[in-house]
Amino acid sequence: MKLAHLADLHLGFRQYDRQTSRGGNQREADVAEAFRRAVDDLLVQRPELVLLAGDVFHSVRPTNPAILFLFQQLHRLRVGLPESPVVLIAGNHDTPRSAETGTILKLYEALGVEVVTDQARRISFPQLDCAVLAVPHQALVQAERPALRPERGAAHNILVLHGVLEDIMDPEWSVSDYGSARLTRADLAAAQWDYVALGGYHVRHDVAPNACYPGSLEYVNPRAWVQLREEAKQKVPGKGYLLVDVPGARTTFRPVPSVRRHIDLPPVHGAGLTAKELDAEIARRVAGSKPPIDDQVVRLIVYDVAAGTARDLDHPTIRQYKARALNFHLDLRRPEQRRVVGVGAPGQRHTLPDTLREFLTRRPLDADLNRDAFVRLGVEYLDRVGGAAGEQG
């Protein structure tokens, strides 16, 4: 049996103010396009079962275009693969906070899609000799969770759920959503399943040979830059979905090309540079971008830029960059300094890096550690988090 495993479509996700020719949000259209391309591929690959592992929509109340778009795409699937059941579960993004709020996902049952939004359901597909335990976000966060265990009666047992394993929840590098349900490996008991289809982690990742996150279809998470870095680290080719052969859980990653690139230009160190020199450095970075920055999502970090220097930069040129790119984020970072705050009692208020540095200098330390290196590393980490946080929103 061949199944397709997709997750984290985040349809309806909006970002930046660039609009499409039809007046919609460009990024929302990008996200939709990614799914369209995925469906195109599914219709070619012809899996016998399609699993959508949560966060189909970016919000509980998605935009009308998103609702309609999903309807169309599922319709394509159902028509194109009439014998292949589609199982869709709700993730933390598309699960209502209160029970009174209905969910739009039920709409898609009309297409013969198995929609699981509240309680876990074990759905048997006799023609596939397969049972799918579909566990939506809500089922995992309620007091009494379902037992994530196969039952006798089917040759193939598949688990599909939306949640994040505790041991891959690294607070600093997190590419998952804070609202996700937490799971342990013991909860999953991957070894007991033919396949565990996971959603909720935006970078493709195997938690066991037969338990995988396909990752999101687009860089929808606010921490897109972190996703990029993580993908580079894990040598993940980008965004896509998984085709899985059961039994044996042999997985094939099907890349889904993005409409546009996220480009993180090499950072500039501005210390000692005049505004003009900085302008030149920035221009060099932009010129060296491959592909060119036009219509791409671009970030350039410039360190150690004094307020005066920042004011004197060539803002018209920068505005040109912003016009060319879908989004051009020139991330100017101030040199680290103490700020005098005139509010309340007189005194110095430390910046966060200062406070951390001071704390780390005093903290008891094992004798064999180099304190200077330790302090440097601590401040560097804080810096990185700050960089990521700066990207949010």
Partner 1 sequence: MIQRQTPESIGRVVATELKPATPHQFHFWTANETTIGIGAIVKVEGPGAGDQGSGRVVFGVVTDGFAYSDLATPLHDVVGAEGDPAKAAERPTVRQEIRLWTAAVLRQEPEEPLQPVPLGAVYLASDADVAQALRMDAYLTGAQPTGIPVGLYTAAGHEAPVYLDADFLLGPEAAHLNISGVSGLATKTSAVEFLLASIFQHFPAHKGRIAALCFNVKGPDLCFLDRPGALDDADRRRYERLGITPQPFERVRYYAPCKADGVNLNTLRTHPDLVGDVEPLVWGLEEVLDFAEVLLNRDDIDAKADAFIDFLSDRVLNKEFDDGFGGSHRVQTFADLDGLFRAIFDGLELTGRSDMWRTHHIATIRKVRNRLSNISTRCKGLVTDDGPSNDLPWGRFEDRTVYVVDVANVDALGQDLVFARAVSKLREHLERRDLGVEAVVVFVDELNKYAPGDGPETYVRKMLLDISERGRYLGLVLFAAEQFRSQVHRRVVGNAGTTLFGRMDADELATPGYQVLSPATKIKLATLPIGELMVRHPHFTQPIFLRFPRPAVLRGRDGVERFPPATDLPFEDAVVRQLVRLDRRIRPNQVKDLIAERRPDDVRRALAAVRRTRPEDALAYFRRILGARVAPVTAPAREAVPPLNPISEEPY
For partner 1, which is the closer residue by CB, 2 or 322? 2
Q: For residue 103, what are the contacts with CB-CB under 8 A and spacing of at least 6?
A: 60, 90, 94, 95, 96, 117
* Contact between 114 and partner 1 per CB under 8 A: yes
* Contact between 324 and partner 1 per CB under 8 A: no
Interface with partner 1: number of residues (CB under 8 A):
54
For partner 1, which is the closer residue by CB, 24 or 387? 24
Which amino acid, 317?
T
* Contact between 111 and partner 1 per CB under 8 A: yes
Q: What angle do CA 110, 118, 92 make, to 5 degrees?
A: 100
Taking the alpha carbons at both ends of the chain, their separation in whole angstroms is 42
* Contact between 82 and partner 1 per CB under 8 A: yes
User: For residues 139 and 117, what is the distance between their CA atoms, to the nearest angstrom?
Assistant: 8
Residue in 350, 363, 356 with CA at minimum distance from that of residue 381: 356
Cα–chain-centroid distance for residue 346? 44
Kindly state the smallest distance separating residue 220's Cβ from partner 1, in Å.
Answer: 15
For partner 1, which is the closer residue by CB, 21 or 392? 21
Kindly state the smallest distance separating residue 373's Cβ from partner 1, in Å.
Answer: 19
Kindly state the smallest distance separating residue 251's Cβ from partner 1, in Å.
Answer: 12
CA distances in angstroms from 106 to 8, 78, 89, 102, 259, listed in the order given: 18, 16, 10, 9, 29
Contact 90, 103 (CB under 8 A): yes
Candidates 69, 219, 225, 321: give the one binding partner 1 (CB under 8 A): 69
* Contact between 209 and partner 1 per CB under 8 A: yes
User: For residues 385 and 392, what is the distance between their CA atoms, to the nearest angstrom?
Assistant: 11
Phi, psi of 241 (to 5 degrees): -135, 175
* Contact between 110 and partner 1 per CB under 8 A: yes
For partner 1, which is the closer residue by CB, 28 or 281? 28
- 3-class secondary-structure state, position 51: strand
Kindly state the smallest distance separating residue 146's Cβ from partner 1, in Å.
Answer: 5
Stretch of 105-113, 307-315, 334-342, 374-382 contacting partner 1, by CB under 8 A: 105-113
Candidates 19, 46, 182, 191: give the one binding partner 1 (CB under 8 A): 191
Q: Which of residues 11-40 bind partner 1 (CB under 8 A)?
A: 20, 22, 24, 28-29, 32-33
Q: Which of residues 129-148 bind partner 1 (CB under 8 A)?
A: 131, 133, 143-148
Stretch of 74-82, 275-283, 345-353, 358-366 contacting partner 1, by CB under 8 A: 74-82
For partner 1, which is the closer residue by CB, 209 or 247? 209
Q: What angle do CA 142, 147, 148 make, to 5 degrees?
A: 105
Contact 51, 161 (CB under 8 A): no
* Contact between 195 and partner 1 per CB under 8 A: no
User: For residues 7 and 55, what is the distance between their CA atoms, to the nearest angstrom?
Assistant: 7
* Contact between 78 and partner 1 per CB under 8 A: yes
Residue corresponding to tokens 């920055």: 293
**In the structure encoding, which two tokens stand for residue 378, read together?**
């601590």
Kindly state the smallest distance separating residue 111's Cβ from partner 1, in Å.
Answer: 6
Kindly state the smallest distance separating residue 361's Cβ from partner 1, in Å.
Answer: 22
Residue in 175, 158, 177 with CA at minimum distance from that of residue 5: 158
* Contact between 85 and partner 1 per CB under 8 A: yes
For partner 1, which is the closer residue by CB, 111 or 385? 111
Contact 300, 327 (CB under 8 A): no
Strand 262-269 vs strand 297-303: parallel, antiparallel, or unpaired?
parallel
Sites of contact with partner 1 (CB under 8 A): 20, 22, 24, 28-29, 32-33, 64-66, 68-69, 71-72, 75, 78-79, 82, 85, 110-112, 114, 120-126, 131, 133, 143-149, 151-154, 167-168, 185-186, 189, 191-192, 206-209
